Amino acid sequence: MTAQEAKIIIQELSDTINYHNTLYYQKSKSEISDFEFDQLLEQLSSLEKQFPALKLPDSPTQRVGGTITKEFENVMHQYPMLSLGNTYSFEELQEFDVRVAKGLDGDAYEYFCELKFDGVSISILYENGFLTRAITRGDGVRGDDVTTNVKTIRSIPLRITTKNIPSRFEVRGEIFLSKVAFAKLNKEREDIGEETYANARNTASGSIKMQDSTEVAKRKLNCYLYYLLGEGLGVQTHEESILKLEAWGFNVSPTYKKCKTIADVKAYIDLWGNKRGDLPLDTDGVVIKVNSLDQQEQLGFTAKIPRWAIAFKYKAQSLSTQLNNITYQVGRTGAITPVAELEPILLAGTTVKRASLHNANEINRLDLRIGDYVFVEKGGEIIPKVTSVDLSQRKADAIPVNYITHCPECRTELIRVEGEANHYCPNDKGCPPQIKGKIEHFIQRKAMDIDSLGERTIAQLYELGFIKTPADLYDLTKDNLTKLDGFKELSINNLLLGIEKSKQVPFESVLFAIGIRYVGKTVAEKLAKHFKTMDALMTANYGLLLATPEVGEKIAQSVVSFFNNEENVNEISRLKQSGLQFESTQKEPERLSNILDAKTFVISGVFKKYERDQLKDIIIANGGKVLSSISAKLNYLLAGENMGPAKLEKAEKLRVKIISEDEFEGMLKDISTR
């Protein structure tokens, strides 16, 4: 392929991917499958690697991340990001209206109302149509530069293609995790034995400050834009600004409304007070702004807030109902979750019968008694929560709740690891919910992807005694499956075919599927890339595991413990005999040069520009070798921040040359000039 041909294809692929991004993230429509979309992205990425000079400045491949940011630069806002005054009462809103009328000397005015979304405020600068900088709110005067992470959010344009746009302008909005994305993220954490996140807002805030933009991209953040700033914008009202944002391709929530009077504002507030539960994300109120920009300027600011805007905050609906009982659920990892069984109530549009109590600490904090009347709310949470006890209705003889000491399913005595809030059932090989949960985890799409096998079928197979571990799936026969309710010839053949096809799933997915505690999809990919084979991973000691990117002490200890268990080793052996993939098919980096031929490196510490995996790939691509330990034969210790003192001391003692990240880059300079 010539460069000219590649240029045409790169442009066509970019346009197609951008079209499908906009369709999916702004219009909630899809014309192609996720697989087809990923194939387009992979094709574009491959061409860009082959012809790097042709990569477009707004290439959709920026959306997948890949940049590591160790420190976020603190930047001053061109226009301060001020807070708004808040109110919870319509009477105070009427007082605000009186102040506006007085400040405008009786001139006619109107309001523009927008929902106040529960996310993370962001300011984004565009220059000559391109996204050049994204800054968090910070203290309102200065914020952190999170440009690399914001570029992974697919609803935010990397380039504005509309004609006659200002050469420089700023947009502001709210980055958020939708309810669906948040629930999915928590399900994944629960699946690997990690504590779930408390709420979507805090999770979005933490996500936008993650160091690895690849991980940010996986979070599926979204953003609604609601404010346009700059010189020569050609707008007279806030409404015109919003319409311009929409015309330029920004994702604007369609829930806004222009209101003539404060009575119209109240009607808008009441409308969304009832409907906000239907929204794809949480909203905690309404922002009311004077529509005219000239009138905004006339009203001005106090020391901290604008006089032309105010936020009406919805009170979190909290209702009292009776606690009838507490039941206990057992998860795949053995974690015990107490659940409040409630007298049913209608709360925020849905009937609530149950609410998570999280753990024993929460029950003690609430000082619960069976029969208590408790307050339940959904404020900012997807799952209802018990917030307090109505002590005025407590009976004098009410007895405090004693947390269970034995598993409700298998009666094994529970354990509690020091430093963790949850109790656990240690009977992972004999506790029914854990056994079925492990198999459900094993067959899921991100693991072995056996989509013809579901929760109900797994339960039947377990009850009939056909499966007790994932390896049993590969011993199933037609005769076994004929005993399942509703299974005929076609469904039996589909299930057996699905199990057979799973043998081609790559090693990193198999590693995730076997269910080592704390080893999620990302960690499994890192371990597979680092160790290459299951055998190498199984024999790795604690120190070697700690040297793997993304692997900390908790994960390393969990992996060692897993493979020290004889039953687990036997299970791995059975899976291997069944033909599963236990070797990585990830290719070594393409050779770029011989500049590091015969040179050996040990990489240690944290680096500003690279992950250790990236440095390893660069060294190998240029002819070098990466070793795991320091010896007298080692050429270089590539040292980052916070490296272990023992390695440094040993390298100095053996007179191994210690180089920094910048010195390493200097060794590679000759490559770029060739």
Note whether residue 595 is domain-resident.
Answer: no
Residue 301 has pLDDT above 90, yes or no: no
Residue 561, helix vs strand vs coil: helix
- CATH number of residue 550's parent domain: 1.10.150.20
The answer on 392 and 303 residing in a single domain is: no
Provide the H-helix boundaries in 34-143: 34-50, 90-103
CA-wise closest residue to 298 among 106, 123, 140 = 106
> What is the DSSP secondary structure assignment for residue 292, as one 8-state letter?
B
* pLDDT value for 322: 95
Last residue of a domain, one of 397, 424, 451: 424
Share of the chain above pLDDT 70, in %: 96
The answer on 380 and 351 residing in a single domain is: yes
Q: What is the mean pLDDT of residues 386-401?
A: 91
Distances (CA, A) of 631 to 547, 604, 619, 634, 644: 16, 14, 18, 5, 16
Contact 291, 309 (CB under 8 A): no
Residue 302 has pLDDT above 60, yes or no: yes
Contact 129, 161 (CB under 8 A): yes
Q: What is the pLDDT of residues 119-150, one digit of tens each?
A: 899 999 999 999 999 999 988 888 999 999 99
Note whether residue 664 is domain-resident.
Answer: yes
Average pLDDT, the chain: 89
- For tokens 């005993």, name the residue: 483
Read off the tokens for 181: 């994305």
b/e per residue 513-545 (b: at least 16 CB within 10 A):
bbbbbbbbbbbbbbbbbbbeebeebbebeeebb
* pLDDT value for 481: 94
The answer on 621 and 561 residing in a single domain is: no
The answer on 632 and 548 residing in a single domain is: no
Looking at 517-633, which runs of residues are DSSP E strands? 600-604, 625-626
Give dist(CA 149, CA 139) in Å, integer: 20
The answer on 252 and 287 residing in a single domain is: yes
Q: What is the mean pLDDT of residues 153-168?
A: 91
If you write DSSP's letter for every residue of 163-219 in order, what string do you get?
SS--SEEEEEEEEE--HHHHHHHHHHHHHTTPPPPS-HHHHHHHHTT-SBHHHHHHT
Q: What is the mean pLDDT of residues 92-114?
A: 95
Last residue of a domain, one of 394, 424, 454: 424
The answer on 517 and 467 residing in a single domain is: no
Read off the tokens for 304: 């901290």
* pLDDT value for 26: 66
* pLDDT value for 504: 94
Q: What is the pLDDT of residues 514-569, one digit of tens each?
A: 999 999 888 898 899 889 999 999 999 998 998 887 788 889 999 999 999 999 99
CA-wise closest residue to 336 among 413, 400, 399, 389 = 413
The answer on 284 and 176 residing in a single domain is: yes
Beta carbons within 10 angstroms of residue 46's beta carbon: 11
- φ/ψ (deg, to 5) at 610: -135, 155
Share of the chain above pLDDT 90, in %: 54
- Boundaries of domain holding 12: 3-64
Note whether residue 590 is domain-resident.
Answer: no
The answer on 498 and 609 residing in a single domain is: no
Q: What is the mean pLDDT of residues 466-493?
A: 94
Last residue of a domain, one of 504, 534, 568: 504
- For tokens 């197979």, name the residue: 461
Give dist(CA 333, CA 425) in Å, integer: 8
Distances (CA, A) of 590 to 242, 583, 587, 593: 48, 19, 8, 9
The answer on 382 and 283 residing in a single domain is: no
Q: What is the pLDDT of residues 579-599, one digit of tens each?
A: 999 999 877 777 888 889 889
* pLDDT value for 212: 85
The answer on 118 and 241 residing in a single domain is: yes
* pLDDT value for 348: 66
More confident residue, 508 or 3: 508
Residue 159, helix vs strand vs coil: strand
Q: What is the pLDDT of residues 18-77, one digit of tens each?
A: 888 777 766 667 787 767 787 888 888 888 888 888 888 878 887 776 666 777 888 999
Give dist(CA 341, CA 14) in Å, integer: 52
b/e per residue 489-511 (b: at least 16 CB within 10 A):
eeebeebbebbeebeebebbbbb
* pLDDT value for 95: 95
What sign results for the dihedral spanned by CA atoms 664, 665, 670, 674?
Answer: positive
The answer on 16 and 162 residing in a single domain is: no
Number of domains observed in the structure of the chain: 6
Q: What is the pLDDT of residues 435-465, one digit of tens each?
A: 999 999 999 988 999 988 989 999 999 999 9
More confident residue, 351 or 391: 391
Note whether residue 522 is domain-resident.
Answer: yes
* pLDDT value for 670: 56
CA-wise closest residue to 90 among 259, 318, 263 = 263
Note whether residue 589 is domain-resident.
Answer: no
* pLDDT value for 674: 41
β-pairing verdict for 657-659 and 636-639: parallel
Separation of CA 666 from chain center: 36
pTM of the model: 0.69
Q: What is the mean pLDDT of residues 199-213?
A: 88
Q: What is the pLDDT of residues 602-657, one digit of tens each?
A: 888 878 778 777 888 889 888 888 887 788 889 999 998 777 777 888 888 899 99
* pLDDT value for 672: 44
Residue 291 has pLDDT above 90, yes or no: yes
Note whether residue 487 is domain-resident.
Answer: yes
The single-letter code of the amino acid at 217 is A
β-pairing verdict for 86-87 and 309-313: parallel
The answer on 653 and 535 residing in a single domain is: no
Question: Which amino acids are annotated catalytic?
Answer: 116
- CATH number of residue 376's parent domain: 2.40.50.140
Q: What is the pLDDT of residues 403-434, one digit of tens each?
A: 999 999 999 999 998 778 889 999 999 999 99
What sign results for the dihedral spanned by CA atoms 410, 414, 417, 419?
Answer: positive
* pLDDT value for 673: 42
Read off the tokens for 430: 């004999």
Note whether residue 541 is domain-resident.
Answer: yes
Q: What is the pLDDT of residues 308-320, one digit of tens each?
A: 999 999 887 788 9
Give dist(CA 667, CA 597) in Å, integer: 12
